[in-house]
A and B are shown apart, each in its own frame.
Chain A
Amino acid sequence: MIHFVLLISRQGKVRLTKWYSPYSQKERTKVIRELSGLILTRGPKLCNFVEWRGLRVVYKRYASLYFCMCIDEDDNELEILEIIHHYVEVLDRYFGSVCELDLIYNFHKAYFILDELLIAGELQEPSKRTVARLVAAQDSLVETAKEQTSSITNIIAQAAK
């Protein structure tokens, strides 16, 4: 099972955290600090897995963002690598060529998407199309409930198409 998902920028800034196993706020800070020290310093040719406190952390770098998932020792690391890629692809479809900025300002959206992909630390939906459809369905309901958006948001919305 996946214990947590972390998105960390190359500078060590946290972009998203999702904890599927219980960690106190203090532990979380410590985990993030330890892992960013461990992962950000690794060279590009090395393998995408790190052993950490008896668990495995699988990470993958996309542009300046590191996607990390922490798993049990007997899980399939390559599968997790693929799940990360899966998530990035869904994000990409959703935001339209996703970049780090999208995630910085819309982190809650990234959370919603993650919730459709993973649940309780397991992959719940292997089909990208289904995930995209579900998120879109939720968003369209949200759209109708939304008040008239400001002009600036419209501009941005068009840009993001």
Chain B
Amino acid sequence: MGSQGGFYQSKEFLDLVKSIGEARSKAEEDRIVLNEIETLKRRISEPDIPKRKMKEYIIRLVYIEMLGHDASFGYIHAVKMTHDDSLLVKRTGYLAVTLFLNEDHDLIILIVNTIQKDLKSDNYLVVCAALNAVCKLINEETIPAVLPQVMELLAHPKEAVRKKAIMALHRFYQKSPSSVSHLVSNFRKRLCDNDPGVMGATLCPLFELIARDVNSYKDLVINFVSILKQVAERRLSKAYDCHQMPAPFIQIKLLKILALLGSGDKQASENMYTVVGDIFRKCDSSSNIGNAVLYECICCVSSIYPNPKLLESAADVISRFLKSDSHNLKYMGIDALGRLIKISPEIAEQHQLAVIDCLEDPDDTLKRKTFELLYKMTKSTNVEVIVDRMIDYMISISDNHYKTEIASRCVELAEQFAPSNQWFIQTMNRVFEHAGDLVNIKVAHSLMRLIAEGFGEDDDNADSKLRSSAVESYLRILGEPKLPSVFLQVICWVLGEYGTADGMFSASDITGKLCDVAEAYSNDETVKAYATTALMKIYAFEIAAHRKVDMLPECQSLMEELLASHSTDLQQRAYELQAVIGLDAHAVECIMPSDASCEDIEVDRDLSFLNDYIQEAIEKGAQPYIPESERSGMLNISNFRNQDHHEASSHGLRFEAYELPKPAVQSRIPQALIASTEIVPVPEPMYPRESYQTTMPSIPSDAGSAELKLRLEGVQKKWGRPTYTPATSTSNSTSQKTVNGTSQGDGASTVSSMRETYDSRKPQVEVSHEKQKLAASLFGGSSKTEKRPATGHKAAKASSHMVEKSHVPKSSMEVASDKAASAQQPPDLLDLGEPTATSTALQLDPFKQLEGLLDTTEVASAVNGAPAASISPDIMALYVDTAAGIHNKNDADLLSGLSNPSVTNMPGTTAMPQVTQSSSKRPNPKDSLEKDALVRQMGVNPSSQNPNLFKDLLG
């Protein structure tokens, strides 16, 4: 194969590589590289360096840069090299500049001229080299300089050039869509290129164009489908085959494009069904690339208008992926499941054990992917288990990026599906405790708002119970060392606002704790500020309640310190505190009303209370105030601005785009529009408002059905009470059936029938009980949703009692047998497992558990002095939970039959696909030995200790 494998470099360069390879430490390597940089700096600026030498220097620069050192002193020489006449030198120059320079580098301007010249060269290799550089180096400003030439190259006789020209245009489009938007027709034309390589390359820009604007490319559906059909039927040359798959990369690209075009378009999708079905059948699932195509098919099927037959094939492939031994395929399977679940949610149930296996896999990547899937399939029924798991995982990892992501997901799920406010606060506490500083500050604010606003209904007792439980939990948490700042802010605020509200804790308790916080986190000014204000509130409430205020000594010393603080903010707060303490009860009540954080503060924008003062001043001869807009002489602009100002001031800050459309706002807008267009003929201000008007009303209706995670079937509103308003539940109950696919009855029957089939096939293989339970709590819950939103909560009370009674005896029997089978019960999954320790008390157990729960709530309510009736909804919620929990266990038992396939079904066919070699060439040990010998001859050792261990890469 020619002499390409040889080493053309000088001894010097080989020595450099060798010494770096042998460097024992990073420091040693750095020293060698710095030496080399010195040498190169000196040599490269010498006059009259022979070209060949120069080329080597540049390659050495590339090497240095690759190792992470700065070689910018030599960039200019690389640029100069691109001007060279010889292709050999020019090519190295281009390589170096593409590696060295980013598109915004100053030196680019020096290369554009050369590129222009080279694009016109009659040697196609020169053109190719220039096009490579174009793709990397040309930026938005320089696109016009090369665009005409690149356009001409689209018709170049060499396919390699056409291909690169297409890719260059694609790059231009990415950088500045407007610069090439008039050339889109060229891409369409190139789709019919004779060379499959060029056609394949054209798919890249088309994919991007279609992703941004689907509708203008609908006419191409037929073309894409026919291309895909031809490819799948092996009409392309064998050269494009890969592991006996016909042109798989082109197939994948086409499937991606079809997925975009068919999304939500029944007519377009119908054209695709046949060809996608063909590919499903033809794909060879034993090779990696075959599976890649299959995966892309699933993506396509889940994106286009659903077709039952294709969905079935997709589900088959998914189950094959999930049952595979290869982690890669499992990963893809989980991903694909997450896509398909949006369309057919029932598919998850048959794979529940496989999913749980992935969740417990030691492979972190797989675990994360599974969490992503769980995130997608969270419902009100399984939110507790899922969020619990997520938080546990969040605590266990140290990667901040992912921690942030998973924390925000926990928050999102908790906000959407929280079964009770109590649970919500507890969950938030855990999230803040372990990932506090990574959580968006807005989340902290919304938590504070939730505690302040309560349930949003006029049930004050429940509100105060919530608050006192929050206060209690925060006082407990404060005992822990090292809490995140954001969390401390929430704690301080809540303690200040509600610490003494229920009378459980005395002011000195709370103030003592607050002082401790301020002291322990003395270098965090925000926390200190929060703590000071909280102190002020506590004292203000005390004064307002006509109690005697005794400042704790530590509080006094804290104040003294703050009064002399360098932070003006802290100082101000301390002075305010001092001032408040000195006031009488009536005044304090005006400044610091109790529990008024949600009340609106009225602001007198015109500052009318100053009128007298102004009048007085004017009478004394002061100049009246002239608004800024009236001061300038430029009538046109100031007029326009004036208009703007009026609008702005009437709205306060200009947030109108985010508010719900109100009739008042809408009626205003046309006026404003007419006015502004009259004065200044710039239509720009129209855009946002117009689109806002048209799109806003449609959003609320879409949101419910568009995405799974937004479906709040039968769930209470975000901040609502743990009951269901009759209106929402009745309206949702119909849609919900279609969403969940299986009704309660259905689920039971399919499950039992499956069990039968599996039973007959294989002997039972034991699956850990833990997993079954987890499965039940994750997936089995779907039947429960049916039960929950029955009717208004009064009716639910009665009906769930009925359901309860009919289910409990049977399911507790199940529990008993479960218990015998497995010794260990995971306490975190279903607490219900615990009390069944003695088999005699079995029948009563769930109730016992319930009693326990009732007791605690009653205690809490007694403390609050709340009438028992007001907490009944809470108890009911718990009650229903318990019932459903048991029911789930029941499911789990039935499902144990499913354990078979996922655990044992690993037929020997799933050998690692990548291992199956496509290259006919076997590794040639002799070759590599020879190479080694040569290298040694030259006095160069490879980087590893024993060169004989160097295997061929493909070996």
Residues of A within 8 A of B (CB): 9, 11, 13-14, 16-18, 20, 22, 24-25, 28-29, 32, 43, 45-54, 60, 62-65, 76-79, 81-83, 85-86, 88-89, 91-102, 104-109, 111-112, 115, 119-120, 122-130, 134, 136-143, 145-147, 149, 152-161
Contact = CB atoms under 8 A, between A and B. Distances in A.
B893 interface: no
Contacts of B237: 127
Q: Please list the 4 inter-chain residue pairs (A to B) with the smallest Cβ-Cβ separation, ordered nearest first.
A: A160-B5, A157-B3, A78-B292, A47-B327
A160 B931 contact: yes
Nearest to A47: B327
A125 B203 CA distance: 12
B818 to A, nearest CB: 33
Nearest to A108: B59
Contacts of A62: 953-954
Interface of B: 1-9, 14, 17, 21, 52, 59, 62-63, 65-68, 70, 86-88, 91-92, 95, 98-99, 102-104, 123, 125, 128, 132, 135-136, 160, 163-164, 167-168, 170-171, 174, 196-197, 200-201, 204, 237, 239-240, 242, 247-250, 252, 288-289, 291-292, 295-296, 299, 326-328, 330-332, 362-363, 365-366, 368-369, 401-402, 405, 914, 918-919, 921, 923-924, 927-928, 930-932, 934-935, 937-938, 942-944, 947, 949-955
Given A63-B955, A88-B953, A134-B128, A119 B164 contact: yes
A69 to B, nearest CB: 14
A59 to B, nearest CB: 11
A105 B7 contact: yes
B3 A105 contact: no
A139 B930 CA distance: 23
Given A13-B21, A88-B954, A146-B88, A102 B5 contact: yes
B240 A127 contact: yes
B197 A141 contact: no
A126 B240 contact: yes
A53 B17 CA distance: 32
B247 A98 contact: no
A25 B68 CA distance: 7
B295 A78 contact: yes
A17 B331 CA distance: 27
A50 B952 contact: no
Contacts of A50: 365
A156 B164 CA distance: 33
A54 B4 contact: no
A43 B362 CA distance: 10
A16 B66 contact: yes
A86 to B, nearest CB: 7
Contacts of B59: 108
A142 B3 CA distance: 11
Given A28-B68, A104-B17, A47 B296 contact: no
A115 B401 contact: no
10 contacts: A14-B67, A47-B331, A65-B953, A94-B4, A101-B942, A122-B201, A127-B197, A130-B197, A153-B8, A155-B934
B372 to A, nearest CB: 9
Given A97-B952, A102-B5, A122-B167, A129 B328 contact: no
Nearest to B174: A120
A141 B292 contact: no
A121 B52 CA distance: 31
Interface centre among A25, A91, A107, A154 (most CB of B within 10 A): A25
A159 B88 contact: no
A85 B914 contact: yes
Given A105-B17, A124-B201, A137-B125, A100 B942 contact: yes
Nearest to A24: B102
Nearest to B947: A101
A29 B934 CA distance: 33
B66 to A, nearest CB: 5
Contacts of B201: 122, 124-125
A76 B5 contact: no
A156 B99 CA distance: 28
Nearest to A109: B4
B924 A97 contact: yes
A50 B401 CA distance: 13
B954 A89 contact: yes
Contacts of A115: 95, 98, 132
A157 B934 CA distance: 10
Nearest to B331: A47
Interface centre among B330, B365, B368 (most CB of A within 10 A): B365
Interface centre among A13, A78, A124 (most CB of B within 10 A): A78
Contacts of B924: 96-97
Given A14-B66, A77-B328, A160-B4, A129 B239 contact: yes
Contacts of A157: 2-6
Contact of A85 (B66, B136, B288): B288
Contact of B943 (A13, A60, A142, A146): A13
A144 B695 CA distance: 65
B8 A101 contact: no
A51 B953 contact: no
Nearest to A62: B953
A87 B747 CA distance: 49
Contact of B242 (A86, A109, A138, A149): A86
Nearest to A67: B953
Contacts of B250: 126
B944 A11 contact: yes
A97 B929 CA distance: 12
Given A9-B943, A105-B9, A157-B6, A126 B197 contact: yes
A145 B88 contact: yes
